[in-house]
Amino acid sequence: MKTFNLLKRIFVLAAIVPMVFMASCIKEDFDVPPIDIPTFTLPEGATVISILDLKARHTAGNLDSINDNVYIKGIVIGNDEFGNIYKTMMIQDATSGIEIKINKTSLYNDYKIGQRIYIKCQGLILGDYNGLTQLGTIYNGSIGQIAEVNIPVHIFKDSLPGTPPAPRVIMNGSELTTDMISTLVRFEGASFVEAGSPYVAPGEDNTNRTMNIPGGTLTVRSSTYAVFADEIMPSGPGTVIAILGYFGGAFQATIRNTTDVINFVPDNSTIFVDELFATNPGWASYSVASNMNWTWDATYKCMVGNNFGADVAGEDWLFAPSVTLTGLDSAFVEFRTWSKDEDAGQAEPFTVMVSSNYVSGTDPNTATWTTVTGALCPYTSTWTSSGKVNLGAFIGQTVTVAFRYRSSGVATGSASKWELDGVKISGKLS
């Protein structure tokens, strides 16, 4: 028995010794693989031009071929990481910015924010989408996307991603210029007209929201595929960083993620009415004259006043739900209007009125009304924000806000068309 135990101990020791020896040979520090830093060398005979110079080659509405051996260089400021940009990348240099249309998803894996890239423009096309200049190829007679197989032919990374350019600070809408299109901008003192609503309205693929900035308003367009589509827009003034866009002659803004919406301070408002007309709200209306009335447009999600083709001169009223403005320091109504076809015979086709003694269902002309003034669309077929219209004179009262539409009827079918959206009535404690 002793002999057996001795042999067993020798066997175990023989097994352990090689393991200890092997362990002593293992290196504790592994070699770090080298970092592959992409570099780009401009080919002989090629020239780098500014983005602004490249955009100057484009004539609005045309498809302009780029036939000479030119490159542009820029920093990526927008990609598809958060879903609000699709098959598109935005770059900018010190002069301007431009959209690159690319038939590939998950671009952010290869082209991160802050990545410097060169683009070989020869063989590509300059086009535009309703005024916004884009770089891509021809597809079905319009501007299209660079095929994925051709990405290595035209797009080249140079260095690792770094810090993106600082956005240009915009203190007033009058400071915006076309050179800033497709570049990062920063709006101070911004606020959302539809604060308290999601960035994208339920059931919509894309939603246009209105952002107030000092000196004007901008459309903020968001996609249902954005990761923040269902998030609620904050109230109160704050700072918005965005990529400046352009559509149909007007500037607009694209936020990349809600990290671009910062420093918002809630304004402690009480919201009495917040109607975007996504469905028919069933608001009361009254037609004093004409065989027309306010109607809800299911396509454009708004209320419409249009007496074109009416039998007589028109006077049609639309009433927001009555609200009680007690215990407040201030109160406001806000709305948006769209209009076209000016009615030469009617000086005031659209009027906003407030009454504290209107009885629902009766002729509004039997009540006492006060006209309040906000900005209206000047027959340009563009949505115009009224701004905050002061209702301070009615604090402590129960009031009805009404929208009166009139047409002259001085000529057959004479009438302007008005659309109403984004009605909000709110009160605030200091």
Strand pairing of 116-120 and 142-144?
A: unpaired
Give the mean pLDDT of 148-172. 96
Tokens 């497709």 correspond to what residue? Answer: 182
In this structure, what token pair is assigned to residue 138? Answer: 């021809």
Tell me which of 12-26, 185-199, 343-357 is least confident. Answer: 12-26
Helices (H), 91-174: 151-154
Residue with the bigger pLDDT between 172 and 371: it is 371
pLDDT at 17: 42
329 exposed, middle or buried (CB, 10 Å; 0-12, 13-18, 19+)?
exposed
Nearest to 307 by CA among 404, 407, 231: 407
pLDDT at 114: 97
pLDDT at 58: 97
The answer, yes or no, to whether residue 18 has pLDDT greater than 50, is no
pLDDT at 389: 94
pLDDT at 196: 83
Cα–Cα distance for residue pair 133/105, rounded to 1 Å:
21
In this prediction, residue 313 has a pLDDT band, given cuts at 50, 70 and 90, of confident
What percent of the chain clears pLDDT 70, i.e. is strictly above it?
Answer: 90
pLDDT at 71: 98
In this prediction, residue 301 has a pLDDT band, given cuts at 50, 70 and 90, of very high
**Structural domains of the chain sorted by starting position, each given as residue range(s) with its CATH number in brackets:** 47-157 (2.40.50), 168-266 (2.40.50.140), 274-428 (2.60.120.200)
The answer, yes or no, to whether residue 369 has pLDDT greater than 80, is yes
The 10s digit of each residue's pLDDT in 31-72 is: 666 778 999 999 999 999 999 999 999 999 999 999 999 999
What percent of the chain clears pLDDT 90, i.e. is strictly above it?
Answer: 74
pLDDT at 271: 85
The answer, yes or no, to whether residue 359 has pLDDT greater than 70, is yes
The 10s digit of each residue's pLDDT in 1-15 is: 444 444 444 444 444
Residue with the bigger pLDDT between 88 and 346: it is 88
pLDDT at 291: 72
The answer, yes or no, to whether residue 28 has pLDDT greater than 60, is no
In this prediction, residue 216 has a pLDDT band, given cuts at 50, 70 and 90, of confident
The 10s digit of each residue's pLDDT in 184-203 is: 999 999 999 898 889 999 88
Rg (CA), the chain: 31
Cα–Cα distance for residue pair 385/220, rounded to 1 Å:
13
Nearest to 424 by CA among 330, 338, 321: 321
Mean pLDDT of the chain: 90
The 10s digit of each residue's pLDDT in 245-300 is: 999 999 999 999 999 999 987 767 788 998 999 899 999 999 998 777 899 999 99
pLDDT at 430: 62
pLDDT at 3: 43
pLDDT at 267: 63
Cα–Cα distance for residue pair 75/369, rounded to 1 Å:
57
Nearest to 74 by CA among 125, 123, 119: 119
Residue 197: how many CB atoms within 10 A of its CB?
20
